[in-house]
């Protein structure tokens, strides 16, 4: 089984600082993950994955291998995006939830019911965030 040189990552989070920290962590410790785009709401996630509107050019907006998504976003929240994903066939897309609302057990259960096996809390320090993104890279390589 051949692994890719780089895995394309789409970050979906409405908080600019959270996107910045996640992207910085990825760039600093995971040479195999490459952030190809950042969006700030669920509607943009769907447009990006569908390749419509401003995301129609796959050269400029490559389809991601990994979607890192927050649950609490405007327009369409993370749960709505995950429900939409369950109606689509994107076998190469891996999804990880990175959210501050994971302390709610019902959220974790709902995430699992929607087929997402990987979720990480935003409520961590930077060293723990670095460990999380290292783990994400390892998971991508194991699933390849």
Give the model's pLDDT for residue 121: 85
Ranges of residues in the chain whose predicted pLDDT is under 50: 1-2
CA 4 to chain centroid: 18
Q: Scan for tokens 């076998």, then name that residue.
A: 91
Domain coordinates in residue numbering, the chain: 7-143
Per CATH, is 7-143 categorized as 3.40.50.1240?
no
Q: Which two tokens stand for residue 11?
A: 């970050």
- What is the Cα Rg of the chain in Å? 14
Lateral strand order in the sheet of 118-121: 33-39, 7-12, 66-69, 94-99, 118-121
Helices and strands of the chain, counted as H and E runs: 5, 5
pLDDT on residue 66: 95
What pLDDT score was predicted for residue 1? 39
pLDDT at position 11 is 98
Whole-structure pTM over 0.95, yes or no?
A: no
């Amino acid at each position: 089984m051949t692994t890719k040189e780089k895995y394309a990552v789409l970050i979906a989070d409405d908080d600019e600082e959270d996107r910045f920290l996640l992207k910085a962590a990825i760039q600093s410790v995971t040479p195999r993950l490459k952030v190809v785009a950042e969006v700030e709401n669920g509607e943009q996630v769907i447009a990006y994955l569908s390749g419509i509107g401003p995301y129609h050019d796959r050269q400029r907006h490559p389809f991601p291998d990994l979607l890192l998504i927050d649950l609490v976003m405007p327009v369409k929240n993370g749960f709505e995006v995950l429900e939409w994903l369950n109606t689509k066939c994107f076998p190469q897309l891996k999804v990880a939830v990175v959210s501050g609302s994971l302390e709610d057990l019902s959220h974790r259960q709902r995430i699992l019911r929607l087929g997402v096996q990987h979720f990480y809390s935003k409520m961590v320090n930077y060293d723990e965030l670095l460990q999380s993104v290292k783990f994400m890279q390892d998971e991508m390589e194991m699933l390849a």
